[in-house]
Amino acid sequence: MSRNAAMIWALARRALNEITRVPGAAVPGVLAPTIFMVGLSGVFGQAARLPGFDAADFRTFIVPVGLLQGAAFTGAATGVNLARDIERGWFDRLMVCPAPRTTILLGVVASAAVRSLLPATLLTCVAFALGVDFPGVPALLLTIVLIMALATAIAFYAVIIALRFRTQQAAPLMQMGGFIAVLFTAAYAPKALLAGWLSAVATVNPVSPILTGVRQGFVGDVTWHDTWPALLASACLLVVLGSWAVHRLGRVGD
């Protein structure tokens, strides 16, 4: 068990090198959610005046969206990095080592959870500086858990795409998956204000309860009623996408 943990840690540390050793490599991914949050609230801020909008202001309402977007970008980046490793032959090196496939997969995606905290930290600091209220420690802790879980789930998805197409050119497909997952929810407005088709999509989108969970504290209080669906949805995404990724990894070489 400890050997597997050492393998996961070694692979995760390697994945973090991109941030620590390539100047500026992480900047776009870290900045983008904050840019979106500031930009969107500057553009659509008046929408919060619509009857039925629960939040104090539009910016507070979409901060959670930005946090999840950061998680999605980070998860997609994991898949892009794996695709690059496949193109350069590094992935073959992993596949011929005797480490269990599950261990390799966990090592590849583990860094996504940690990296997702970078854009989240910047966004939260900027949001507070712009007047968004502190959501409270319980809400913040829950947010951290949900962000890390979503980043890992999207990383599993991106890994599946990378293993299927084996090229960095599939990057837009990886990014779009996370993009759609996060934004086809009650991202911009409460569900009651959404157009019919988007409301229907948001109802079945597993990221919707996660967004609701993250929104707690920023909008309204933290309640078990909104927390357990978020945790359950996160767990389901991790299990389903993780199993699919393990299965896909096992089929490498077929």
Partner 1 sequence: MIRTSLALARRTLLDAARRPQFLAPLVIFPSLFLAINTGGLHRSTDLPGFPHVGGFLDFQLAAAMTQSLLLGGVAQGIGTALEIESGFFDRLVASPIPRVSIVLGRILAGAVIALGQVLYFVAIGLIFGASIAGGLPGLLIVLAIGVLAGTGFCALGVMIALRARNASTVQGIFPLVFVVLFVSSAFFPRALLSHPADWIASYNPLSYIADGLRDPIISSVSLQPVLEGLAAAAGVTAAFVALAVAALHGRLREA
Partner 2 sequence: MSTAPAIETIGLEREFGGGLKAVKGIDLAVAPGEVYGFLGPNGAGKTTTVRMLVTLLRPTGGRATIAGFDVATQPADVRRRIGVALQEAALDLLMTGRELMELQATLHGIPRRAVAERAADLIGRVGLANAAERRVGTYSGGMRRRLDLAMALIHAPEVLFLDEPTTGLDPTSRTTLWEEVRRLRDEGTTVFMTTQYLEEADQLADRVGIISDGLLVAEGTPAALKAEIGAPHLDITLGGEAPDAEAARRALEPYGACRPAPDGAHVSLQVADGAAAMAGVVRALDDAGLLVEGIELVRPTLDDVFLAKTGEHLEGAAEEAAPA
181 is a contact residue toward partner 1 (CB under 8 A)? no
- Residue from 28, 39, 100, 138 touching partner 2 (CB under 8 A): that is 100
DSSP state string for 39-77? HHHHHHGGGGGSTT--SSSHHHHHHHHHHHHHHHHHHHH
131 interface partner picked from partner 2, partner 1, none, CB below 5 to 8 A per type: none
**Cβ neighbours of 4 (radius 10 Å):** 15
Per-residue DSSP letter, 1: -
Q: Which is nearer to partner 2, 3 or 247 (CB)?
A: 3
- Using CB under 8 A as the binding rule, whether residue 50 contacts partner 1 is answered as yes
Supply the minimum distance, in Å, between the C-beta of residue 18 and partner 2. 7
Is the CB of residue 143 less than 8 Å from the CB of residue 217? yes
Tell me: does residue 41 bind partner 1 (CB under 8 A). Answer: yes
Residue 17 in the binding site for partner 2 (CB under 8 A): yes
Residue 130 DSSP one-character state: T
Query: What burial letters (b/e) apply to 41-59, b meaning 16+ CB within 10 Å?
Result: beeeeebbeeeebebebbb
Q: Tell me if 14 contacts partner 2 by CB under 8 A.
A: yes
**Does 90 help bind partner 2 (rule: CB under 8 A)?**
yes
Choose, by CB under 8 A, the member of 14, 56, 118, 188 that binds partner 1.
Answer: 188
**Interacting span for partner 1 (CB under 8 A) from 12-20, 25-33, 100-108, 144-152:** 25-33
Give me the DSSP letters along 181-201: HHHSSSSSS-GGGS-HHHHHH
Per CB under 8 A, the list member of 3, 42, 54, 134 interacting with partner 2 is: 3
**Interface positions with partner 2 (CB under 8 A):** 3, 6-7, 10-11, 14, 17-18, 21-22, 88-100, 252-254
